[in-house]
């Protein structure tokens, strides 16, 4: 007998499998007959089915070929042996010489030592591994790709029996952590700031597939064509909503999503699964399971976002095929959406008038759904590990997007404090709005310019909302990181022109690409740096790829035609790097001037992040128009202390004497040279640190929008003369930090730093 490969063999096996699934007998009896059928059809001496039990254990439930007494006796932990490895990684494995593999685990009761080759696939349903299906052969056999595909299709059908609850009681697999409705705190990442309180809504769009095996593949292909057409029309309508059509990166992301809905490779994989004998719904589900399995092995953030888009589209297509499409999902009046991951358009399915917050098990600042949520002003916390498994629909959830915390089922006292925090935040926002148009001026008449840190077009409206005097740091790399390819000069010019247009007459400081290290561009080959923070990044990468830097600078010059252009180079560690970068800028200015395009004025600055540059200030300051301190990197390099390492979190303090003395001398040198100095790292965004900076002589602070109100309130309550004298007296202090002393000073002198 020929192995079941190709469309006709797969369809024959599926038909016979369908008949067995519908036959009489217990679930165990049907499973026994199924493994015998698969072994015969796949021309294998062994077919075994392992089912997941409680405690991350895989138990041999049925076999054709291994010793019968091994059934229900042989167990492997998830991750143990080849079977455990398949379950742990949710991906197929095909080996011609299985026993030589380092993961092979020998179980003497099975008698499998006589079998050489092995092919196994996970039994997947709803993205979860329910077991493993394995075939084995005595001789060395290289399994064809078609055979792996066939076994995956069989495993998908088998998943219905395994997940039915007739073999293993589902209660057994329920996490013991879910049993009690206890209050639980989740620590996560701050993705979109804000506070929200509401009832949990689980985002798990699932369609029950009632038919798996196709009677007529041609009819199923036609159903797929019709379903795709309906889905694509619905996506067009969804993205035409009034709060989506406004410009910005979120619009660009959703337009890319629209094009992804027509991806030929994705559609072709579904068609191939239908030709193999599956219904349209089952074929779509199979492709989705394959996608989820691939996500386990992918760490590249851009590729993961593309796969999330694909999962979103797959869910939509399933709903259209099954006729289960709803315009908007029902929600309580105050809803907190809980999800493992989300595609960017899935958020738009929910009623934004009721959606108060979003909690994700995954997610990042540049995740597509985060950018869309930021555009809609929805607080988001990411990295809330295991929250989907531990939340029940309707549970009360508190979302603290300011601190990256989620509280599940909080007690009444916690609820009351949170309501009070929401009330106080509303009052604070009203107070900040009241001083929005007032200057950031100290009680002794010192003016401080408060500016905005931004990285997306959707951040720019905050200039008006906060009263910021300009954009002190525009991170140009973020639009590059959400694209599939490096944007050409025209595309970049459009981005920068949009930024300048929205800023109006307020200055914008563009930082050139700060990528590399842990900020990868998906279209550049990965670089393995042993220490990414100290590796090939920022100006180092730009000077090694001068064409890339030249294109960006040409786009900036073109966008600023007739206007002020402020360009800042990141991570400059010696003046020679600035000289080389400025030469590229000058060439681009000359090139565009020949075409009649000329900024009204060009100002050039550098980021003071690498301490070595401090020792070249005499050569640096005459060559620049402004200097900006990136306090995050500067402090970790100054103290040789990885700021991302939790063990070192308290090892140094930016308010320590060495840090403040370094900044004091930097300010003095800049003032003497007549070069304006700004601080745009986290130091500028916290009132107590900003208070110290102003006392040291810093007159420009750039920060996230949410920090401008608190920092302006601090500035307007501060007398700089008293604090400057206080810091002078403590300059030689041997203390680890002056933080407590500065808090005491603020309290004694009525400076508002909370």
Any idea which of 103-107, 357-361, 570-574 has the lowest mean pLDDT? 103-107
| Better-predicted residue by pLDDT, 511 or 292 | 511
Closest CA relative to residue 477, chosen from 519, 423, 440: 519
Q: How far apart are CA 296 and CA 341, in angstroms?
A: 13
Closest CA relative to residue 270, chosen from 303, 235, 225: 225
CATH number of the domain residue 666 falls in: 3.20.20.60
| Better-predicted residue by pLDDT, 62 or 210 | 62
Tokens 């790399």: give the residue: 477
Task: Annotate 417-439 with b (16+ C-beta within 10 A) or e (fewer).
Answer: ebeebeeeeeeeeeebeeeeeee
| Better-predicted residue by pLDDT, 472 or 215 | 472
Edge to edge, the sheet with strand 117-125 lists 75-77, 57-64, 46-53, 128-137, 117-125, 93-95
Q: How far apart are CA 56 and CA 20, in angstroms?
A: 29
Any idea which of 79-93, 214-228, 287-301, 445-459 has the lowest mean pLDDT? 287-301
pLDDT surpassing 80 at residue 576: yes
pLDDT surpassing 50 at residue 176: no
Question: Has residue 488 been placed in a domain?
Answer: no
Q: Tell me, what's the pLDDT at 595?
A: 95
Question: Has residue 109 been placed in a domain?
Answer: yes
Q: Tell me, what's the pLDDT at 177?
A: 40
CA-based radius of gyration for the chain: 30
Sign of the Cα torsion 687, 608, 652, 632 reads positive
Q: How far apart are CA 411 and CA 182, in angstroms?
A: 9
Check if the beta carbon of residue 192 is closer than 8 Å to that of residue 373.
Answer: yes
Q: How far apart are CA 384 and CA 443, in angstroms?
A: 43
% of the chain at pLDDT higher than 90: 44
Active site residue 641: no
pLDDT surpassing 90 at residue 252: no
Q: Tell me, what's the pLDDT at 525?
A: 64
Q: Largest alpha-carbon pair distance within the chain?
A: 94
β-partners of residue 190 are 381
Q: How far apart are CA 32 and CA 15, in angstroms?
A: 17
Active site residue 736: no
pLDDT surpassing 80 at residue 22: no
Check if the beta carbon of residue 324 is closer than 8 Å to that of residue 187.
Answer: no
Any idea which of 12-16, 416-420, 746-750 has the lowest mean pLDDT? 12-16
β-partners of residue 123 are 131
- C-alpha count within 13 angstroms, C-beta hemisphere, residue 349: 23
Domain boundary among 398, 426, 454: 426
Q: How far apart are CA 453 and CA 707, in angstroms?
A: 10
Q: Tell me, what's the pLDDT at 286?
A: 83
Question: Has residue 125 been placed in a domain?
Answer: yes
For the chain, the domain total comes to: 4
Question: Has residue 714 been placed in a domain?
Answer: yes
pLDDT tier at 262, thresholds 50, 70, 90 = low
pLDDT surpassing 70 at residue 274: yes
Sign of the Cα torsion 694, 673, 472, 655 reads negative
Q: Domain check: are 280 and 385 in the same one?
A: no
- The whole domain housing 228 covers 217-322
Q: Domain check: are 308 and 421 in the same one?
A: no
Question: Has residue 131 been placed in a domain?
Answer: yes
CATH number of the domain residue 268 falls in: 1.10.274.10
Question: Has residue 596 been placed in a domain?
Answer: no
Q: Tell me, what's the pLDDT at 125?
A: 76
Q: Tell me, what's the pLDDT at 190?
A: 86
Rounded to an integer, the average pLDDT of 323-351 is 76
222 Cβ contact list (under 8 Å, min separation 6):
none
Q: Domain check: are 32 and 159 in the same one?
A: yes
Phi and psi dihedrals of 383, rounded to 5? 70, 25
Q: Tell me, what's the pLDDT at 592?
A: 96
**DSSP letter at 512?**
P
pLDDT tier at 180, thresholds 50, 70, 90 = very low
Domain boundary among 294, 322, 350: 322
Rounded to an integer, the average pLDDT of 400-420 is 88
pTM, two decimal places: 0.64
Q: How far apart are CA 479 and CA 502, in angstroms?
A: 16
CATH number of the domain residue 384 falls in: 3.50.30.10
∠ Cα 336 337 341 (to 5°): 150
Domain boundary among 362, 392, 426: 426
- What tokens were used for 76? 């492997």
- What tokens were used for 694? 């102003």
Q: Domain check: are 346 and 306 in the same one?
A: no
Q: How far is CA 369 from CA 81, 102, 478, 541, 650, in A?
A: 38, 40, 14, 29, 33
Q: Tell me, what's the pLDDT at 114?
A: 85
What number of other Cβ atoms are within 10 A of residue 459's Cβ? 23
Q: Tell me, what's the pLDDT at 742?
A: 95
Rounded to an integer, the average pLDDT of 33-55 is 92
pLDDT surpassing 60 at residue 175: no
pLDDT surpassing 70 at residue 23: yes
Q: Domain check: are 28 and 152 in the same one?
A: yes
Q: Tell me, what's the pLDDT at 19?
A: 82
Q: How far apart are CA 254 and CA 231, in angstroms?
A: 15
Check if the beta carbon of residue 224 is closer than 8 Å to that of residue 321.
Answer: yes
Question: Has residue 153 been placed in a domain?
Answer: yes
CA 396 vs. chain centroid, Å, equals: 25
Any idea which of 148-152, 153-157, 476-480 has the lowest mean pLDDT? 476-480
In sequence order, what DSSP letters do the residues of 647-667 get, joined into one string?
GGTTT--TTSHHHHHHHHHHH
Q: Domain check: are 235 and 151 in the same one?
A: no
Phi and psi dihedrals of 680, rounded to 5? -125, 10
pLDDT surpassing 90 at residue 690: yes
Q: How far apart are CA 441 and CA 690, in angstroms?
A: 13
Q: Domain check: are 642 and 723 in the same one?
A: yes
Tokens 């603290």: give the residue: 400
Q: Domain check: are 334 and 318 in the same one?
A: no
Closest CA relative to residue 584, chosen from 536, 547, 540: 547
SS (H, E, C) 159-193: HHHHCCCCCCCHHHHCCHHHCCCCCEEEECEEEEC
Q: Domain check: are 247 and 262 in the same one?
A: yes
Where are the alpha helices (H) located in 467-574, listed in sequence order?
477-481, 489-503, 538-544, 546-559
681 Cβ contact list (under 8 Å, min separation 6):
629, 630, 631, 632, 633, 634, 635
What number of other Cβ atoms are within 10 A of residue 375's Cβ? 24
End-to-end CA distance of the chain: 78
pLDDT tier at 327, thresholds 50, 70, 90 = very low
| Better-predicted residue by pLDDT, 743 or 331 | 743
Closest CA relative to residue 542, chosen from 530, 551, 533, 529: 551
pLDDT surpassing 50 at residue 245: no
- Which uninterrupted H or E stretch holds 429? helix 412-434
Q: Domain check: are 277 and 336 in the same one?
A: no
β-partners of residue 405 are 187, 400
Check if the beta carbon of residue 201 is closer than 8 Å to that of residue 336.
Answer: yes
pLDDT tier at 238, thresholds 50, 70, 90 = low
Question: Which residue of the set 465, 680, 730, 736 is catalytic?
Answer: 680
Q: Tell me, what's the pLDDT at 482?
A: 64
Check if the beta carbon of residue 479 is closer than 8 Å to that of residue 498.
Answer: no
Residues 424-438 have pLDDT tens digits of: 888 888 888 899 999
Q: How far apart are CA 521 and CA 484, in angstroms?
A: 9
Mean pLDDT of the chain: 85
Q: How far apart are CA 119 and CA 46, in angstroms?
A: 10
Closest CA relative to residue 495, chosen from 588, 561, 559: 559
Check if the beta carbon of residue 199 is closer than 8 Å to that of residue 359.
Answer: no
β-partners of residue 471 are 452, 508
Edge to edge, the sheet with strand 184-187 lists 184-187, 405-408, 396-400, 195-202, 335-339, 355-360, 380-382, 189-192
- What tokens were used for 701? 């602070």
Q: How far is CA 528 from CA 298, 301, 445, 533, 641, in A?
A: 16, 15, 51, 12, 21
What's the helix, strand, coil split of the chain in %, to 5?
A: 50, 15, 35
- The three-class DSSP label of residue 454 is strand
Question: Has residue 118 been placed in a domain?
Answer: yes
Q: Tell me, what's the pLDDT at 239?
A: 65
**DSSP letter at 605?**
E
Question: Which residue of the set 130, 250, 320, 368 is catalytic?
Answer: 368
Q: Domain check: are 18 and 144 in the same one?
A: yes
Q: How far apart are CA 482 and CA 83, in angstroms?
A: 37
- What tokens were used for 313? 């589209």
Residues 98-142 have pLDDT tens digits of: 988 888 888 888 888 889 999 999 998 766 789 999 999 999 999
Q: Domain check: are 45 and 159 in the same one?
A: yes
Q: How far apart are CA 344 and CA 257, in angstroms?
A: 8
By DSSP bridging, strand 184-187 and strand 57-64 are unpaired
């Amino acid at each position: 007998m020929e192995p079941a490969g190709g469309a006709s063999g797969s369809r024959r096996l599926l038909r016979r499998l369908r008949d067995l699934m519908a036959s009489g007998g217990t679930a165990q009896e049907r499973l026994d007959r199924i493994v015998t059928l698969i072994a015969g059809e796949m021309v294998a001496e062994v077919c075994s089915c392992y089912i997941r039990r409680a405690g991350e254990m895989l138990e041999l439930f049925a076999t054709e070929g291994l010793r019968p007494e091994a059934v229900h006796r042989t167990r492997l932990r998830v991750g143990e042996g080849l079977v455990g490895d398949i379950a742990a990684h949710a991906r197929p494995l095909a080996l011609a010489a299985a026993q030589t593999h380092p993961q092979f685990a020998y179980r003497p009761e099975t008698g499998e030592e006589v079998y050489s080759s092995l092919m196994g696939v996970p039994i997947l349903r709803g993205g979860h591994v329910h077991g493993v299906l394995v075939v084995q052969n005595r001789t060395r056999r290289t399994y064809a790709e078609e055979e792996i595909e066939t076994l995956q299709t069989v495993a998908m059908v088998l998943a219905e029996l395994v997940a039915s609850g007739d073999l293993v009681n589902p209660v057994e697999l329920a996490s013991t952590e879910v049993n009690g409705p206890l209050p639980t705190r989740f620590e996560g990442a701050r993705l979109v700031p804000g506070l929200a309180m509401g009832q949990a809504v689980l985002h798990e769009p699932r369609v029950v597939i009632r038919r798996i095996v196709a009677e007529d593949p041609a009819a199923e292909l036609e159903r797929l064509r019709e379903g795709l057409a309906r889905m694509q029309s619905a996506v067009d309508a969804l993205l035409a909503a009034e709060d989506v059509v406004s410009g910005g990166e979120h619009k660009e992301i959703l337009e890319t999503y629209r094009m992804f809905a027509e991806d030929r490779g994705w559609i072709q994989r579904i068609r191939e699964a239908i030709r193999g004998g599956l219904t349209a719904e089952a074929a779509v589900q199979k492709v989705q399971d394959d996608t989820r399995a691939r996500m386990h092995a992918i760490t590249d953030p851009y590729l993961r976002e593309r796969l999330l888009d694909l999962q979103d589209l797959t869910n939509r297509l399933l709903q259209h095929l099954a006729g289960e499409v709803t315009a908007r999902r029902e929600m309580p009046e105050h809803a907190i959406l809980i999800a493992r991951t989300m595609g960017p358009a899935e958020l738009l399915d929910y009623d934004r008038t009721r959606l108060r917050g979003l909690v994700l098990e995954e997610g990042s600042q540049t995740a597509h759904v985060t950018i869309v949520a930021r555009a809609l002003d929805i607080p988001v916390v990411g990295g809330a590990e295991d929250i989907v498994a531990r939340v029940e629909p309707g549970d009360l959830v508190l979302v603290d997007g300011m601190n990256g915390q989620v509280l599940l089922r909080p007690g009444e006292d916690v609820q009351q404090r949170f309501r009070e925090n929401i009330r106080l935040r509303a009052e604070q926002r009203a107070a900040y709005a009241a001083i929005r148009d007032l200057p950031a001026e100290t009680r002794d008449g010192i003016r401080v310019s408060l500016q905005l840190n931004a990285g997306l077009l959707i951040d720019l409206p905050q200039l008006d909302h906060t009263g910021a005097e300009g954009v002190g740091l525009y991170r140009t790399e973020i639009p590059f990181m959400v694209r599939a390819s490096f944007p050409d000069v025209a595309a970049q010019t459009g981005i920068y022109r949009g930024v300048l247009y929205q800023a109006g007459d307020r200055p914008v400081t563009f930082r050139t690409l700060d990528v590399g290290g842990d900020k990868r561009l998906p279209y550049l080959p990965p670089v393995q740096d042993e220490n990414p923070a100290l590796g090939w990044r920022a100006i180092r990468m730009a000077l090694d790829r001068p064409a890339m830097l030249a294109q960006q600078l040409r786009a900036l010059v073109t966008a600023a035609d007739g206007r002020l252009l402020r360009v800042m180079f990141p991570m400059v560690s010696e003046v020679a790097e600035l000289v080389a970068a400025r030469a590229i800028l000058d060439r681009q200015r000359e090139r565009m001037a020949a075409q009649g395009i000329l900024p009204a004025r060009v100002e050039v600055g550098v980021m003071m992040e690498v301490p070595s540059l401090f020792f070249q200030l005499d050569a640096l300051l005459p060559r620049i128009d402004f200097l900006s301190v990136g306090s995050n990197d500067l402090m970790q390099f100054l103290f040789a202390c990885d700021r991302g390492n939790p063990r070192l979190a308290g090892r140094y303090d930016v308010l320590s004497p060495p840090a403040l003395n370094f900044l004091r001398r930097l300010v003095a040198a800049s003032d003497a040279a007549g070069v304006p100095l700004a601080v745009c790292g986290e130091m500028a965004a916290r009132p107590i640190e900003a208070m110290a900076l102003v006392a040291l002589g810093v007159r420009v602070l750039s920060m996230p929008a949410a920090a401008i109100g608190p920092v302006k309130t601090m500035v307007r309550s501060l007398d700089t003369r008293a604090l400057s004298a206080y810091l002078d007296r403590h300059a030689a202090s041997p203390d680890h930090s002056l933080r407590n002393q500065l808090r005491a000073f603020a309290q004694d002198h009525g400076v508002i730093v909370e």
